[in-house]
């Protein structure tokens, strides 16, 4: 008897389950450490089942990475929209960045610590959307006279400073008497005073 066709909901639910498991496994074992067989075993299905939903591991990794960047950008958009003042928007973005990394460390690792598969596509609009939120906030602050300097340079400095602190925290390397929250607060007090 032929197998009944899955509904769109069932297909989407399986894809979501597969991507959720893949996010954890890629973050824990790296790209090379994950196999289609391991994904199938984690889902309790036959080794060939994932191939019905994704062509190969590269396609799964790309889907997981894009979804992570999309959630990250959504988190930054939400953070930015919570503040009216230009400097408060930059503060909210820095805190939104930290919050996302702490709430979704596996996604964060896949986005920023794992290289895409060889021959992968260059960053696209999904990957760049979060950066454009930060850049836009810096441009607005410069245009309003709240910051001075090149907004592109300022956005890079804010992004890389917060990223560095978060990456050190997630790697367990902030062990010299300061915690992430204290350092983020000190960074924002020093760099985002406005003026």
Is there a contact between 93 and 133 (Cβ–Cβ < 8 Å)?
A: yes
State pLDDT tens for residues 51-85: 888 999 999 999 999 999 999 999 999 999 999 89
Q: 59-96 burial, b if ≥16 CB within 10 A, otherwise e?
A: ebbbbbbebbbebbbebbbebbeebeebbbbbbbbbbb
Model pTM? 0.87
Domains of the chain: 8-191 (1.10.357.10)
Task: Give pLDDT tens digits for 71-124.
Answer: 999 999 999 999 989 999 999 999 999 999 999 999 999 999 887 766 666 667
């Amino acid at each position: 008897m032929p197998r009944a066709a899955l509904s769109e909901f069932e297909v989407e639910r399986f894809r979501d389950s597969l991507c959720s498991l893949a996010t954890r496994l890629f973050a824990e074992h790296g790209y090379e450490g994950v196999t289609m067989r391991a994904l199938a075993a984690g889902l309790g299905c036959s080794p060939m089942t994932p191939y019905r939903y994704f062509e190969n591991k590269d396609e799964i990794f790309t889907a997981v990475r894009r979804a992570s960047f999309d959630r990250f950008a959504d988190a930054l958009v939400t953070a930015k929209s919570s503040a009216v003042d230009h400097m408060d928007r930059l503060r909210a973005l820095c805190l939104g960045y930290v919050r996302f990394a702490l709430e979704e460390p596996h996604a964060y690792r896949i986005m920023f610590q794992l290289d895409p598969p060889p021959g992968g596509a260059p960053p696209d609009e999904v990957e760049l959307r979060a950066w454009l939120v930060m850049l836009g906030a810096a441009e607005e602050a410069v245009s309003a006279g709240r910051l001075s300097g090149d907004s592109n340079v300022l956005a890079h400095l804010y992004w890389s400073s917060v990223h560095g602190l978060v990456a050190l925290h997630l790697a367990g390397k902030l062990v010299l008497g300061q915690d992430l929250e204290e350092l983020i607060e000190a960074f924002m007090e020093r760099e985002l005073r406005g003026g």
